[in-house]
Amino acid sequence: MPFLRFDLIEGRSDAEVQRLLDVTHEVLVETLRVPQRDRYQVVHVHPRSRVVALDTGLGIGRTDKLVMLQLTSRPRDKALKLDFYRVLAERLSSACGIAPSDLVINFVINDDEDWSFGMGRAQFITGELK
């Protein structure tokens, strides 16, 4: 169950944001094998002056269509993550007009006891979720 946090620069329509969320979830289900109903996404929109995303010396140009995506997740296989990066960049480019150079992704890994989906229980630990 990844928890996704999107940081965006203001200026996108609600429809554009919804398409971004939908495409990302589709890719997540396909590449990381996440169940369809495991969908936890939060969007934060910032003024342009509040976002700094340099190229880390790689010569990557950025635009105001920048998407900074942080996934908090249980551990995932390296090959699955690499596939996720590639497929998401391709799909966001074709479906949303977001250039691969405008996509920054970060995984934050945690364990089963770090999740509670409500009711004051850790459902991975109690066995309610596998």
Residues recognised as catalytic: 2
Residues present in the chain in total: 130
Q: DSSP H helical segments within 60-104, as ranges?
A: 78-96
Gap between the Cα atoms of 20 and 97, Å rounded:
10
Query: Closest Cα to residue 42, out of 63, 65, 72?
Result: 72
Strand order in the sheet with 67-73: 40-46, 3-9, 67-73, 103-109
